[in-house]
Structure 1
């Protein structure tokens, strides 16, 4: 019963981690204490950056075909639309996926589990982690299976993808500071009609409770996500849809014909003090939880998984020293803290009570937001932030060099010149080099000696427009982020990057 990595929790974070590792030849075991996969979900949005990264798992097309593209977001005040943000026109030059994609978490998990099972790995359900120990060379975990029998499981590492009440986090003693929003959230899947059922996202900024209407793939279907903050919040467990439906029907003119699912919950905003202790790691909700503002939670957990997966694989295949795993927390914890702070501020704004808050939200914001939407820089800032394409690891230990606006740790800018898409090669789950222009022979030879894939693009104006510079050497990590930017274009800098860190490509394993 030995594996390289024991993954605890089969939500999107754990499943993506298992898929990545299995694709890279790492033996995983993934368990979940739930007897069945979830049939309902709160997470809906699959952001552009996640769709970009999913190309490595050949998942992007399947996710897009099964979900719904949200091309615009609308803000409502006093029963009418006050502003619109057209996502498709904002992100067209920034990403192949200039939209928010709605793909409910339960369907998402089924797709991931099916892909994993096709690779020979099945989620072990009704299997619970009872505890584990780390002796410095291995993890020994105690599990209880579906038959009630207990067994020991040995692994090189354990990955806690086990949610907000993580036993892995509790076992390593990682503090989880933060708080709980006093508002009660509700979620309702409905069949309905009205102006807010037009396939776009609609958010109400009125004086009462927060409410958002998310379109689903089936026409006339939507998910309502809202809050209650008066005396109803004290009886969250007994709330029914009838207790919260007036707001949607009156303010946003949603005519509900049928309620297929309704649930209430409370939301925390917390970040663990550490994402790693020894051979145990925390990912997703086990490491950070925050308000649903911006649809960031599930995407951030998936980002954790992809960041950690190639590092696990590199160490386990002998392509990197154990110290590489320290970069996981260094790169992800700062982003998680900023995200919790940002989503907390947004959520506080849309739910704040009092005359001043209502005035800002219902009078000032409707005047300012349309004006801001006219400015390209403001529109791009919003899209880059929500889509997570602005996320970078510039301050991380693996990032080096700069040229123009691009620095080590950044996401590679997307550019299409003629029929050539510079993201096409990013399906490769390994280190690679990009040169836009001409690659010197010594760089070509160096790539061959190191076992690096080299992509050379004939120089075109489109690359300059995207922020790329001619003849610069861009070294990309296995998760497609830029590791090294070398404006000198010399082989010595490239060779030194690997030798100084004890790294080598996974294909050299």
Structure 2
């Protein structure tokens, strides 16, 4: 089968894209200029919405088995524990994954690579994409490999190749934003310290985060480098910094597996699509590590784009559906870059505001807030990304109760399993929480749409779902059409508008 899509980049975004395209039956190739998978832990947190998407792709259980839910974040001031933020089942009743999963990025990538290998798909390492040319019907790409140059043709190219994306540079798309003046360090170290939960240490107007990496028995250290440990070229003197951290955090470092420094950028691509070429993940947007949103946003990009590419490649939808990738994901990325930038400035900045955040808000106010159930639920909705919606998208229509087109389908537990188990087909489907009319059943059969009728329960009522309302669900688990009256003409009109071939 001739590959239809080229994925450039085999980080979490590219690998999630590969799993999603495979799920939808689309042939592709995935390349990466590196010699193999990453060896650094880098991104640590996998949020609930990412796990929900991975559940559709058959990978959630695998990741959960190799990671661990973060129980709490303990907050220390001058080596004394002052408070703790409890994360245990923070989102109970909101998601099948009501926690933050800690799983180092290198292990995360390895698991996805192994999952692809089980399906007969290999990442093509040591392969660069120096140039490509696209016209109205295809993209011709030039790939540089160890054994020479290859020219191939694809229907679409997905640039998942990171902050220094060669795909974005070839497109000439501006990557606007700023770089913060502060320098951060990140290190994986071997230590005999007994660390079970995450820790935040506040000292000398700076901070350090500590997380256990259970797969290797090591610790991850992340923090702001005090200026006295920077040379004139802003390089970090690790030989002086690490003993300082040992003293401030109260740990012994036996061995440094990996140490790196980085600057925090806040940038977003002017466009996520240029005809037949798309940008996703860090190639499209980068922001501060506040809230651990970066990798999870890239996974969301990948799943959003994959089903739309599949629908167009198969001829099931009009190509205009691809425009909604940019409008849906870029609008979210813009909000994310702005909010994480603000949060970062308040935590890491200089001045009275940042002093108040570090000395009062973090050790006193925020832990209190997370013990308040309504506040705790709102924090989970935001950080976990289950609150993301596409109400302003052209793909979104209608309203039933509190649920609108563009919303993530609310998660509802049930005696016979939750409603998310129905999404594992990753295809269009109809849900009626109650009973479907004879006319709707006939229409669904005519349209070739699976129709599910889960019982309407108190959980549905609490989620704002009216009894017997009709919901057309997209392949990524978002609601395309919400209708309280089971209007079959509205259903047909929606599908005709988007060029569904089977209508």
For the aligned pair, the TM-score class normalised by the smaller chain equals over 0.9
* Alpha-carbon separation, structure 1, partners of 2:134 and 2:27: 19
Partners of 2:451 and 2:251 lie apart in 1 by 54
Question: Could you tell me how far 1:254 is from its partner in structure 2?
Answer: 2.8
Distance 1:49 1:504, change over 3 A: farther
- In the alignment, what sits opposite 2:276? 279
Name the TM-score, length of structure 2 as normaliser: 0.95
SS of the aligned residue for 2:74 comes to strand
Contact kept in structure 1, 2:187 and 2:221, CA below 8 Å: yes
Find out whether 1:48 has 2:45 as its counterpart: no
Are the structure 2 counterparts of residues 234 and 445 from structure 1 closer, same or farther at C-alpha, using a change threshold of 3 Å? farther
* 1:319 paired residue number: 316
Displacement of 1:245: 2.6
Secondary structure, aligned partner of 1:85: strand
Q: Is the 8 A contact 1:8 1:14 kept in 2?
A: yes
Q: How far is 1:72 from its partner? A: 1.8
Equivalent position of 1:489 in the other structure = 486
Task: Give the secondary-structure state (helix, strand or coil) at the position aligned to 1:13.
Answer: helix
- 2:290 pairs, out of 289, 293, 305, with 293
1:367 aligned residue (353, 364, 367)? 364
Equivalent in the alignment of 2:80: 80
CA–CA separation in structure 2 for the residues paired with 1:235 and 1:75: 32
Structure 2: distance between partners of 1:262 and 1:167: 26
Partner of 2:157: 158
1:454/1:2 Cα in 2 relative to 1: closer, same or farther (>3 Å)? closer
Contact kept in structure 1, 2:70 and 2:100, CA below 8 Å: yes
Partner of 1:452: 449
Deviation at 1:247, TM superposition (A): 5.2
> Compared with structure 1, are the counterparts of its residues 385 and 234 closer, same or farther at alpha carbon in structure 2 (3 Å cutoff)?
farther
TM-score by length of 1: 0.94
Q: Are 2:202 and 1:208 equivalent residues in the alignment? A: no
Distance in 2 (alpha carbons) for counterparts of 1:162 and 1:154 = 19
Partner deviation per Cα, 1:61-113 (whole Å, 9 max, x = no partner): 10000112112223333333333222224311111111111111111111111
1:111 partnered with 2:111? yes
Q: Using the alignment, how far apart are the partners of 2:116 and 2:370 within structure 1? A: 42
What is the Cα deviation at residue 451 of structure 1? 0.9
State the 1:167 CA deviation. Answer: 1.4
Where does structure 2 lack aligned partners over 5 or more consecutive residues?
Answer: none
How far 1:356 moved relative to its partner?
4.8
Offset at 1:437?
Answer: 0.8
Task: Give me the whole-angstrom Cα distance separating, in 2, the residues matched to 1:215 and 1:467.
Answer: 39
Question: In the alignment, does 2:389 pair up with 1:392?
Answer: yes
**Residue 16 of structure 1 contacts residue 302 of structure 1 at CA under 8 Å; is this kept in 2?**
yes
The verdict on how the C-alpha distance between 1:321 and 1:288 changes in structure 2, with shifts beyond 3 A counting, is: same
Structure-2 separation of matches of 1:386 and 1:472? 29
Q: Deviations over 1:188-218 (max 9, x none)?
A: 11233557x12x2222344433311122224
Q: How does 1:258-277 map to 2 (within 5 A)?
A: 258-277=255-274
Distance 2:273 2:6 in 1: 15
Residue 88 of structure 2 aligns to a residue whose secondary structure is helix
For these two proteins, the number of residue pairs brought into alignment is 503
* 2:338 corresponding residue in structure 1: 341
Going from structure 1 to structure 2, the CA distance change for 1:440 and 1:132 (only over 3 Å counts) comes to same
- Could you tell me which runs of 5 or more consecutive residues in structure 1 were left unpaired when the two chains were aligned: none
